[in-house]
Structure 1
Amino acid sequence: MNDKDMLEEKMEDTNVHGSDGEDAKNDQDEYEKICYVCRRPESVTGTMIAMPGSMNLCHDCMQKAFDSVTQGGLDLSKIPNMPYMNLNLNDLGKLNSQDFDIPKKQKIKKRSDKESKPEMSLKDIPAPHVIRQKLDDYVIGQEQAKKVISVAVYNHYKRVYLADKGIIDEEGNVQIEKSNILMIGPTGSGKTYLVKTLAKLLDVPLAIADATSLTEAGYIGDDIESVVSKLLSAADNDVDKAERGIIFIDEIDKIAKKKNTSSRDVSGESVQQELLKLLEGSTVEVPVGSNQKNALTPMTSVRTDNILFICGGAFADLEDIIKERLKEKSSIGFSAELKDQYEKDSNILFQVTNEDLRKFGMIPEFLGRLPISVTLESLNKELLIRVLKEPRNAILKQYKKLLELDEVQLSFEEESLEWIAEEALKKKTGARALRAIIENFMLDIMYEIPKDPSIGSVVITRAYLDKKGGPFIEMRS
């Protein structure tokens, strides 16, 4: 190869590298940088600081890192999330070797001004009867609960609309207070499922927190602000979207005041008192991209004024408190109420009052911030059969869909559905028992059917469930 050929080849290589550089530049223009520590995009944090190893740090995280060094003498080499802070500058040429784990660049599309979400209008808020109709497709029974929740949600988002327009703060207008919801019902009655379906239909972020893990600030467990952190994470760290979301605190009855205890009640009454500010509406500082507060985690402010709080719990032994109160009203005579008429009442929770909840262990300030109280009825045999068949994603429909993929038709006799409902009532766990029962007897069928491609349909009979026979199987013609 002469010098001329070598020169032409070198020029071709230069053109190739030049085109690669233009593609890389276009790629950088299309995607924005992500902070290595807090994972926030450049559109939120501002200009990034480029670091060795294709890392980018926002100014907040960099400042907090320097503050930790100057104030507390923190050794950055001990921080596991920042592996290149203890890197020797002489080793920069070895960054591409297998000894260094370089994180891949996370790509997030840059948002343009045209993609901004339009303001909420009254037409965007579904009417109560529309919400109720959509809930009927997924939730069986609980007619009063669905009605109460539909009206409460409708009024709440009308309040959010007024707040966005600034009408709620104008002088001379009526100020609408926030109405949080307290759901009381036995286990398996559909409290959590009702809230999940509601958030899905409204297309708003939903955070589900467990009250059993909440403790007073400074003790082992989750702080009260962690419920807001979960909502912010569900909203993709969009504060405006999170401030219109729903927070469901389950097992709220587990933070009742502890009776006859001499130790500090850090997971009971103290949690109720710290929840007061969130329920009523306040501004809290929560970490972004993490559930734990530390020096390197950026913080943001979230207002809870327009966040709908729904608290739910089974309130075990609350029935005994209600029965005790009702028995005190019994008297002697022809029109007297008998003491034993409440013993077999399965829906005695419908007669609950704030006085009963206070005796249970809930403080009056906490109950005052949950003005809407709704009680869910326990599921009887007829309702359990409807739960099996009618919802849009019913359990039986799910198994029929699974067997349709194997080109097998699955059906259930009416007597077999009654047997399943009767077994579920014995377990006393509501609708949760249905899937466990069906999984048990469907195991052999789901295992054996794929073996024989000539099977066309399977009918589940009561004799098969009673272990006195087998399912009715029809072969293909």
Structure 2
Amino acid sequence: MSDYNKDDIKNTEDEPKYEDVCYMCRRPESKTGRMLHIPNMNNMCICIDCMERSFRVMDGSNYADLMQGMNIQDLFPGGMNMDDMMNVQNQIPKRQKLKKKAKDDEKVQPEFDIKNIPAPHILKAKLDEYVIGQDRAKKAIAVAVYNHYKRVATNTMDDIEIEKSNILMIGPTGCGKTYLVKTLARLLDVPLAITDATSLTEAGYIGDDIESVVSKLLAAADNDTERAERGIIFIDEIDKIAKKKNTTARDVSGESVQQGLLKLLEGSEVEVPVGATSKNAMVPLVTIDTRNILFICGGAFPDLENIVKERLTSHSSIGFSAELKDKYDQDRNIVSKVTIDDLRAFGMIPEFIGRLPITVTLEGLNRDMMVRILKEPKNAILRQYQKLLALDEVDLRFDDEALGVIADKAIAKKTGARALRSIIEEFMLDIMYEIPKDDNIGTVTITKAYIEGKGSPMITMRGTPALPDSPLANN
């Protein structure tokens, strides 16, 4: 330490919001402590450990003999760019810079105040504006989120530690699982990371490590560790990491991933890479505490209804208490009768299920719900197309019968609400192509015959008597 001036160890004021990163070991100052800044090298940061290690190497060898007979071409075969050497600190990507934690005397009002957390009925009312149906699921999620952030705001209550309530969402594809979580995070104004469980593998194998889900949350929080520790992580396609059946190979993307997620779900301190999904020598690491992170896992769980049906019809088929084998064939919401035993039979290990205490089932969409999804939400699909044509000063309207036909076509595709946009895009293509050709078009009405391919849309030119408002136009 005697070979350099200790006064050079100070925090740079150029970027006070971000932590310094050691140029040699790539660790942030929250790991290394204060760093040495070299003014002649554009304030390049080097931690004390790396500096002392360099001095020990130099003191332990004959530096003159080492350099004797060597020229600059030997040291830098590709040439030496002094501009690059002077801007070494600027070479660290911004996405790998951590925001500094506020000091105790600088901390302001906490982000979550128990009086400012929206009550469950308020959360559900806000979700109703964007998500159609799924009342039971929205109520359960609103209560779980409200209790979770009360726990974050108070930390303890009369010395009784409140445990975290992670959520497992089960529902068919296209029923609104991801959209529900996105809307929830937007209403709460908290960082949200949406990740896919299909890319996760056991440590040491090709694919994303378990910690990558937390790394994505850190990126969503703009590398602010304090904000990330209060965020929401939504792991989609969680059913894809079910335990593989009838296999002798190592299950590196199934049961092993479930076991790796156990500590994250429960709450622990994990080291995650900053600005990357995998750990390597050139990426700084930061410690994240997952105790206050809300985990929501969702999946379609295909064939789970068969497991539930088999359990419900397992009684004797002979006698007064006999169960008909086809009794539940027409039950669209049979998944709502799921139990922990059914999830275990599907391939989820008991330890994993135990860390997701709240199980929410979403029902499949019927015809009426499809029609409501088309026209009722704030950002309904039909409203989007009406706004597009309104920019061309054209009024777009839909008959109620036409909406029913669109809903029937979407149900036939069996992909949930995702099918609605593809169907509308198909029959709106010609309309959106032809309308800009004629400035005299005032109103376009989509009819049932046009959706079925048996007719054309009704077009009203400007200056003609206006058509009566459709129900959609009044919404």
TM-score (norm 1): 0.80
Return the alpha-carbon distance in structure 2 between the equivalents of residues 403 and 64 of structure 1. Answer: 68
Return the alpha-carbon distance in structure 2 between the equivalents of residues 420 and 173 of structure 1. Answer: 56
Return the alpha-carbon distance in structure 1 between the equivalents of residues 93 and 83 of structure 2. Answer: 19
**Alpha-carbon spacing, 1:66–1:94, altered in 2? closer, same or farther (3 Å):** closer
Equivalent of 1:351 in 333, 337, 358: 337
Return the alpha-carbon distance in structure 2 between the equivalents of residues 324 and 235 of structure 1. Answer: 45
- Quote the offset at 1:292 in angstroms: 2.2
**Alpha-carbon spacing, 1:92–1:371, altered in 2? closer, same or farther (3 Å):** closer
Structure 2 residue 414 is matched with structure 1 residue 393: no
Return the alpha-carbon distance in structure 2 between the equivalents of residues 383 and 130 of structure 1. Answer: 22
The residue number in structure 2 matching 1:303 is: 289
- Structure 2 contact 441–459 (Cα < 8 Å) conserved: yes
- Tell me the secondary structure at the aligned position of residue 245 of structure 2: coil
Paired residues for 1:49-448 under 5 Å: 49=37, 56-57=44-45, 59=47, 92=82, 116-119=107-110, 120-163=112-155, 167=156, 173-329=159-315, 331-333=317-319, 336-448=322-434
- Quote the offset at 1:338 in angstroms: 2.5
1:161 alignment partner AA = A
User: How many positions carry a matched residue from both structures?
Assistant: 425
- Quote the offset at 1:463 in angstroms: 1.2
Query: For structure 2, which runs of at least 5 residues remain unmatched after alignment?
Result: 1-12, 59-74, 464-475
Return the alpha-carbon distance in structure 1 between the equivalents of residues 231 and 212 of structure 2. Answer: 15
- Quote the offset at 1:260 in angstroms: 0.5
- Structure 1 contact 47–58 (Cα < 8 Å) conserved: yes
**Alpha-carbon spacing, 1:41–1:124, altered in 2? closer, same or farther (3 Å):** farther
- Structure 2 contact 22–35 (Cα < 8 Å) conserved: no
2:47 alignment partner AA = H
- Structure 2 contact 114–154 (Cα < 8 Å) conserved: no
- Quote the offset at 1:288 in angstroms: 1.8
- Structure 1 contact 279–369 (Cα < 8 Å) conserved: yes
Q: Percent identity?
A: 61
The residue number in structure 2 matching 1:456 is: 442
- Quote the offset at 1:90 in angstroms: 7.0
Return the alpha-carbon distance in structure 2 between the equivalents of residues 203 and 93 of structure 1. Answer: 42
Return the alpha-carbon distance in structure 1 between the equivalents of residues 131 and 401 of structure 2. Answer: 23
Deviates most, 138-147 or 280-289: 280-289
The residue number in structure 2 matching 1:23 is: none
Return the alpha-carbon distance in structure 1 between the equivalents of residues 220 and 52 of structure 2. Answer: 26
Indicate the RMSD between aligned Cα atoms, in angstroms. 3.5
Return the alpha-carbon distance in structure 2 between the equivalents of residues 366 and 111 of structure 1. Answer: 33
- Quote the offset at 1:49 in angstroms: 3.7
Return the alpha-carbon distance in structure 2 between the equivalents of residues 177 and 153 of structure 1. Answer: 13
Return the alpha-carbon distance in structure 2 between the equivalents of residues 219 and 110 of structure 1. Answer: 33
**Alpha-carbon spacing, 1:32–1:257, altered in 2? closer, same or farther (3 Å):** closer
**Alpha-carbon spacing, 1:162–1:311, altered in 2? closer, same or farther (3 Å):** same
- Tell me the secondary structure at the aligned position of residue 264 of structure 1: coil
- Tell me the secondary structure at the aligned position of residue 340 of structure 1: coil
- Tell me the secondary structure at the aligned position of residue 124 of structure 1: coil
- Structure 1 contact 35–56 (Cα < 8 Å) conserved: no
- Quote the offset at 1:140 in angstroms: 0.2
The residue number in structure 2 matching 1:17 is: none
**Alpha-carbon spacing, 1:355–1:105, altered in 2? closer, same or farther (3 Å):** closer
- Structure 1 contact 217–223 (Cα < 8 Å) conserved: yes
The residue number in structure 1 matching 2:453 is: 467
- Structure 2 contact 35–48 (Cα < 8 Å) conserved: no
- Quote the offset at 1:469 in angstroms: 1.3
- Quote the offset at 1:174 in angstroms: 2.0
- Tell me the secondary structure at the aligned position of residue 302 of structure 1: strand
Query: For structure 1, which runs of at least 5 residues remain unmatched after alignment?
Result: 1-26, 71-84, 97-101
- Tell me the secondary structure at the aligned position of residue 123 of structure 1: coil
- Tell me the secondary structure at the aligned position of residue 327 of structure 2: helix
- Structure 1 contact 35–48 (Cα < 8 Å) conserved: no
- Structure 1 contact 39–289 (Cα < 8 Å) conserved: no
Return the alpha-carbon distance in structure 1 between the equivalents of residues 429 and 353 of structure 2. Answer: 46
**Alpha-carbon spacing, 1:305–1:144, altered in 2? closer, same or farther (3 Å):** same
Which deviations, in whole Å up to 9, do the C-alpha atoms of 1:330-357 show, x marking residues without a partner? 5545665422110111110011111111
Return the alpha-carbon distance in structure 1 between the equivalents of residues 149 and 286 of structure 2. Answer: 24
TM-score (norm 2): 0.80
The residue number in structure 2 matching 1:99 is: none
- Structure 1 contact 231–247 (Cα < 8 Å) conserved: yes
